[in-house]
Amino acid sequence: MQRLIKYIKPALPFLLGLAVLLSSSQFFQLSLANGLAQLLLFALVVCIPTWKTGRMSYVDIGWPLGVALIGLLTWFYSDGYWLRSAIVSAVYLFIGLRMGVAALALLRHGHLDKELPRYQYQRRRWQKANISNTAAMMQIEALVQGLANASFLALPALIIASNPATSFSVFEVIGLALWLAAFVMESVADYQKKAFLTKMRQQGMRHQVCSVGLWRFSRHPNYFAEWMVWNGLVIAALPSWLALYSTADSLLLWVLLGAGLLFTSKIMYTTLVYYSGAVPAEYYSVQKRPGYLAYQQQTNRFFPGPVKSQ
């Protein structure tokens, strides 16, 4: 029994989140449709390729396409004010398709023919936890990503699109503005990193540490910006969550939905720092780039801040 719990433990919070959504009469239909669609998507795009190749990198295709799917289903199933539903659906479609198309490009150019470092790092975690059945864990980890799309990551869209009010709250404007600013920051960080690597290749310099532009103030400004993208959506969902108070099936359910919004931010922070973001990336960067240790000592890992003096 303890062995079984060890294997399924990563999925438990997301199963609970999905159960909360399915227990709501207001969100049942959309949550059920989204859950089944995510299951089918991940089975075809992630689970089967992972089983055949022994690589988890296909999650990078399935996860963003699943986010886009949330946007599409929200538009068709939502019963709130059409303009609000259209905006949040477009935001999810934009987030998902932008990253999904980029992942498909990596697949087309052969970059997924070997396991990405962040998924190689997962095997180290399993070894440390004395988990030997890696084939089963890869399937569980893939399904956890799908469950995240079916539960907490869908929550801001579902709540926002349920609001029938024709006027917009200042928090909705602030949230969407934060989302846009974070997207711009992420794009700038990606451009700066790409330009730096191109310049280093042209100069014949390998394994250099990018510490220019936004990378001077954070070792992972792109991950920080991605986290702020989701924080913007959570903030934008708060007025719609408050509006649910009078129509929710119970006070407990309303409270759980609000807690789920906060948990969405925590999930993305944990993922981008510890699970598949900063920690796995830096494990390999320290080994590969001679100057990375000094960079770690001078620069904040996640939250942007001034350069530290040695």
What pLDDT does residue 3 have?
64
Q: Which residue has the tokens 């538009």?
A: 75
Mean pLDDT, contiguous 10-residue spans, the chain (310 residues):
70 95 96 97 97 96 98 94 97 97 94 92 90 90 95 98 96 98 97 96 93 97 98 98 94 97 97 95 94 95 88
What pLDDT does residue 72 have?
97
List CB contacts of 242: < 8 A, sequence separation 6 or more.
none
Phi, psi of 184 (to 5 degrees): -60, -45
Q: Which two tokens stand for residue 181?
A: 């600013």
Round to whole Å and give the CA distance between 260 and 159. Answer: 11
Q: Which two tokens stand for residue 19?
A: 């159960």
Contact by Cβ (8 Å): 224, 183: no
Contact by Cβ (8 Å): 107, 24: no
Q: Which two tokens stand for residue 304?
A: 């942007």
Q: Which residue has the tokens 């989140």?
A: 17
Q: Which residue has the tokens 């969407």?
A: 176
What pLDDT does residue 7 have?
72
List CB contacts of 69: < 8 A, sequence separation 6 or more.
34, 37, 38, 41, 96, 149
Shortest CA distance to 135 belongs to which of 56, 239, 226?
56
Give whole-number Cα distances, 49 to 84, 97, 135, 171, in Å.
37, 20, 12, 42
Round to whole Å and give the CA distance between 149 and 210. Answer: 32
Shortest CA distance to 303 belongs to which of 231, 237, 208, 236?
231
Contact by Cβ (8 Å): 74, 85: yes
Round to whole Å and give the CA distance between 60 and 47. Answer: 12
pTM of the model: 0.94
Buried b / exposed e over 115-137, threshold 16 CB at 10 Å, is bbebbbbbeeebeeeebeeeeeb
Round to whole Å and give the CA distance between 17 and 150. Answer: 9
Question: Which sign, positive or negative, has the C-alpha torsion 14, 15, 21, 24?
Answer: negative
Q: Which residue has the tokens 């886009």?
A: 68
